[in-house]
Amino acid sequence: MPLGGNNPIRVQSMTTTDTMDTIATVEQSIRIIEAGSDYVRITAPALKEAVNLENIKRELRKRGYGTPLIADIHFTPNAAEHAARVVEKVRVNPGNYADRKKFKIFQYTDQMYENELERIRERFTPLVKVCKEYGTAMRIGTNHGSLSDRIMNRYGDTPLGMVESALEFVRICEDLDYHEIVLSMKASNPQVMIQAYRLLVAKMEEEGMNYPLHLGVTEAGDGEDGRIKSAVGIGALLEDGIGDTIRVSLTEEPEAEIPVAIRLVNRYNERGEHKVIPDIVANPIDPFERTRRNTVETDKIGGKNVPVVVLSPRFEAVSKAENLSDISYTYSKELDKWNIGDTAPDFIYLGKQDVTFALPGTLKKIFDYKYWRKLDDKSDSFPLFTAEEYIDTEKRSDKINFLSVSIDDFNDELYKQIADDKKCVIVLNTNNMHGMAEQRRVFIELMNRKLDVPVIIRRSYENVSDEELILYSAADLGTLLNDGLGDGIWIDAPDNPLKLTNSISFGILQATRTRISRTEYISCPSCGRTQFDLQETTAKIRVRTDHLKGVKIAIMGCIVNGPGEMADADFGYVGSGPGKISLYKGKEIVERGIESNVAVDKLIELIKANGRWTEN
Ligand code: SF4
């Protein structure tokens, strides 16, 4: 099952069973394989698990499954060197291979840094030699949250630090003439991971390397949020043609990750014939750092405002005030008042028909221009023009003129009129199969022409399942938002529930950290080291805390890797032994060995003690 080059993008998952439990691991591996996985990764935290990989592999082969196996190694060279003789690939984490975090040294001189590299070379070389001898592949997999002390000292936990961390190991491999390498740069923040992979590609090109890439967002969580976060990160890179294998890390059964991964990947197998997008002459977007595109503020759209959310509901879905509770506007008849939730959209598009009741003040209406023109009361309503109408009309709004266009509508006259109209907001559409790239091309043109008009990115999806809607829209819109492009998003999905479309819209803004409206959960996918039922615990914590807007809570299965990998969480709930939990505030441990039956209450006490609690 070769990887890279012109091979298809491979998908994979990882077992969560105890690696010493051969039959449980074999049976879970089979479920993963049957779901369509190309590879199965199994954790080997110590030598005894690495040895047991032999039994697992033998049993799988006996049952007729030839799928390549990958041993996941942290810290222990002897486990890696044994596993490399047994399975098809080993994964090492350069942040902790032969390296325990001490943080005793705060300043590395050049000489100390060189000595560290020499020490790593000595510890890593035997593994490379075994891999060479046995024809075993290797993933050098950097994690944002577990960089080595020397990297942290020199580069901080930056994308550059992540890239250097991997390249230090790659250079050793190259010196030993070993090239069966794949690289990864995972982080729980999609933006960090996108920048790290892009930087890795650029640095590899500089050094004449072109190793394949394994893509993943770590600790993405579960359900809709986990899928959005994964699609925002992995999708953005696949959109750019980067990535040879992917793993979607969800806090769910590992076989549930595979259909999600396949759905994400399949989109890119069908793109070959997309409509041509004009070449880019000068690219004003920095791929390695997000800088929001500079736009003029137009009635709270653009400028420094968070991106707005526009919905286009079927009319029945908003024809009565009660129906709006699906989109976070709850009407109380008795009090004649609206209760407005954190995920309440800013605009609804009604086309050619008005509702018969007064909408809440924060929800404005967009109508087709011809309908809007005839309205007596235009105070909360704005026109949506076609390019032709926009150029021809003399009657525009004095607040916002939404201009619905796609790349082919732009011409000199339109550019001129946009430049003269400080009330214009572009609604950018696309029918291109490679729509993100076409829309990005329009942004580039606007930037190069120094047009600071705000842009709402609009995408339409028909005949897609709810899960496809989540993945596709997160990849399409998230990619642009991650690059600082877009002052609003507008997802049309007439076949899917409006409630879902609204929730996805806010989920994408949350995952790209452009508009925070929810609690953020960073939960590991679990593996053989996990000390408690992650799915159940995550659900329990969610129920109690999902109203804490902007608070980041990490739920990690083990104390070995958990604290390192929970990245920028505000609070951490980490398994520290059977039935025991440790709680963290940021990276600092605040309470150890708590009985798991009271640990969720203790977590809430900790959040309260730090002033981050609000009543629901
Ligand atoms: S944090 Fe620990 S339990 Fe969770 S996936 Fe990583 S190694 Fe496994």
pLDDT tens digits, residue range 299-323? 999 999 999 999 999 998 898 899 9
pLDDT exceeds 70 at position 102 = no
pLDDT in tens, 272-301: 789 999 999 899 999 999 999 999 999 999
Tell me which residue has its CA closest to atom 7 in ligand 1: 561
pLDDT exceeds 80 at position 105 = no
pLDDT in tens, 487-521: 999 999 999 999 999 999 999 999 999 999 888 88
Q: Is the CB of 16 under 6 A from ligand 1?
A: no
Interval between CA 240 and ligand 1 midpoint (Å) = 30
Q: Within 13 Å of residue 253, how many CA atoms lie on the same side as its CB?
A: 12
Q: Is the CB of 557 under 6 A from ligand 1?
A: yes
Interval between CA 141 and ligand 1 midpoint (Å) = 14
Interval between CA 290 and ligand 1 midpoint (Å) = 30
Tell me which residue has its CA closest to atom 8 in ligand 1: 527
CA distance linking residue 565 with residue 145, whole number of Å = 4
Tell me which residue has its CA closest to atom 5 in ligand 1: 526
pLDDT in tens, 453-494: 999 999 999 999 999 999 999 999 999 999 999 999 999 999
Mean residue pLDDT of the chain comes to 93
pLDDT in tens, 142-164: 988 778 888 888 888 889 999 99
pLDDT at 219: 80
Find the distance separating the first CA and the last CA of the chain, reported in whole Å: 51
Sign of CA dihedral 157, 161, 162, 168: negative
Read off the tokens for 579. Answer: 């039935």
Average pLDDT over residues 381-403: 94
pLDDT in tens, 352-381: 999 999 899 899 999 999 999 999 989 889
Q: Within 13 Å of residue 144, how many CA atoms lie on the same side as its CB?
A: 23
pLDDT exceeds 90 at position 221 = no
Q: At what angle do helices 190-206 and 159-175 cross, to 10 degrees?
A: 40
Q: Is the CB of 558 under 6 A from ligand 1?
A: yes
Q: Is the CB of 161 under 6 A from ligand 1?
A: no
> Residue 560 CA: which ligand 1 atom is closest?
2
CA distance linking residue 245 with residue 4, whole number of Å = 8
CA distance linking residue 448 with residue 349, whole number of Å = 30
Report helix, strand or coil for 360: coil
